[in-house]
Amino acid sequence: MIEAILAKLIERENLSVAEIRSAMEAIMEGKCREAEMAAFLTALRMKGETADEIVGAATVMRQHVKPICT
């Protein structure tokens, strides 16, 4: 799945919320190799992040946060 998303980024196409969430889920769950993560993040940065992409990525990251007991 990340390969198709990476191909869109290389073509400088914006990702849908579902696509960015899917990619971030794969990354956060350890389903991607380090090279795939690096390629994804580099391509996203080179394309330029949209507000929807940032919100989608942040939402997934927040869902994977482990609470800290204080």
Which range of residues forms the domain containing residue 30? 2-63
User: Which residue shows structure tokens 């940032």?
Assistant: 54
DSSP state of 51: H
Residues in the chain: 70
Which of 16, 29, 26, 28 has the alpha carbon at shortest distance from 56?
Answer: 16
| Mean pLDDT, 10 residues at a time, the chain of 70 residues | 93 97 96 96 97 97 91
Asked, for residue 9, whether it belongs to a domain, the answer is yes
pTM of full prediction above 0.95: no
d(CA 70, CA 59): 23
- Helices 17-28 and 2-10: angle between axes, nearest 10 degrees: 130
CATH (domain of 9): 1.20.970.10
pLDDT of res. 34: 96
pLDDT of res. 1: 74
Asked, for residue 68, whether it belongs to a domain, the answer is no
Asked, for residue 70, whether it belongs to a domain, the answer is no
d(CA 60, CA 48): 19
